[in-house]
């Protein structure tokens, strides 16, 4: 029982899975920017951190991860097919 409580506490400390995934992908992208898998991973992290009605957390999302994945895709991988799938940037 104590082991389960410890494990649950560790998982709770990690936080939301979408945000956690996004942060890991951003770390990977910064460490290995030439890895051909990065644009797809950034695109997946971008979509995972967007707002959508039927997700596990409802409408909540991680704005920082969303902005950073979008920025990296548009700046470093502008000609990549995964970047072309992004929605048009919103006007401020």
pLDDT band at 54 (very low <50, low <70, confident <90, very high): low
pLDDT of residue 57: 54
Higher-confidence residue of 12 and 76: namely 76
pLDDT given for residue 91 in this prediction: 64
Q: Which two tokens stand for residue 76?
A: 């470093």
For residue 71, give the nearest of 21, 29, 34, 32 by alpha carbon: 29
Average pLDDT over residues 13-28: 90
The encoded tokens of residue 29 equal 């992208």
CA dihedral 50, 43, 89, 51 (to 10 degrees): -10
pTM for this predicted structure: 0.79
Q: Give the span between the Cα atoms of 92 and 89, in whole angstroms.
A: 9
Q: What is the mean pLDDT of the segment spanning 36-61?
A: 78
Note whether 51 and 61 are within 8 A (CB).
yes
């Amino acid at each position: 029982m104590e082991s389960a409580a410890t494990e649950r506490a560790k998982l709770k400390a990690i936080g939301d899975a979408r945000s956690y995934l996004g942060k890991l992908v951003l770390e990977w992208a910064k460490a290995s920017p030439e890895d051909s898998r990065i644009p797809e991973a950034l695109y997946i992290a971008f979509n995972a951190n967007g707002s959508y009605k039927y997700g596990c957390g409802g409408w909540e999302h991680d704005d920082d991860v969303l902005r950073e994945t979008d920025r990296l895709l548009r700046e470093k991988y502008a000609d990549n097919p995964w970047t072309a799938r992004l929605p048009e940037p919103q006007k401020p």
